[in-house]
Structure 1
């Protein structure tokens, strides 16, 4: 990472330590505390890094490669989609499955299947 108003690299780290992994998506957002974070969706897991302290703050593992991760507007839920026909809705603090009571989501699979 590099600040646009300062010369040089501010922070350099790998988003995955698997030599064969690919970073599929990166999302930058403000956390509920106001700190700037980013989520990297990799073929081996999802990683969230604190961009102000430059430390790993969360590391969630899933049973399949992650292609994209989206954070809910309130910052409490993550939608995880990847190399599995079923996506997951998880708690953004714990990475655990969330029953999503009262929340509706729809996913379009690359095979053209709409899942809701």
Structure 2
């Protein structure tokens, strides 16, 4: 049984790294890709920069906010892992999974509203 504990922690650590990487990847992709100005209707309350002619749909802003929240949650999860607080770590991992689904939805809405093609 002594070998099962390190394996469990390795799996948890790998899962956290995978989730964090996915969240940060989507967040950074949204930040790097320019929002194309198209004739498609933008989401409610878009940010408009008159000098640049840039319109950022609300779903894009929400996706970036969600990615930042997920990053903070991942940092909390790493601290819980360091303290071996498995109950808190499980709750935080569940939150990260929920955030991943929300972020995927928001990212797709952002792509649809900006005309950015899906890979």
| Structure of greater relative contact order (alpha carbons < 8 Å, 6+ residues apart) | 2
Q: Does the alignment reach a TM-score above 0.5?
A: no
- Scaled to the shorter chain, the TM-score interval is under 0.3
Q: Output the TM-score relative to the length of structure 1.
A: 0.21
Q: Which has the higher strand share?
A: 1
**TM-score of the superposition, structure 2-length normalised?**
0.21
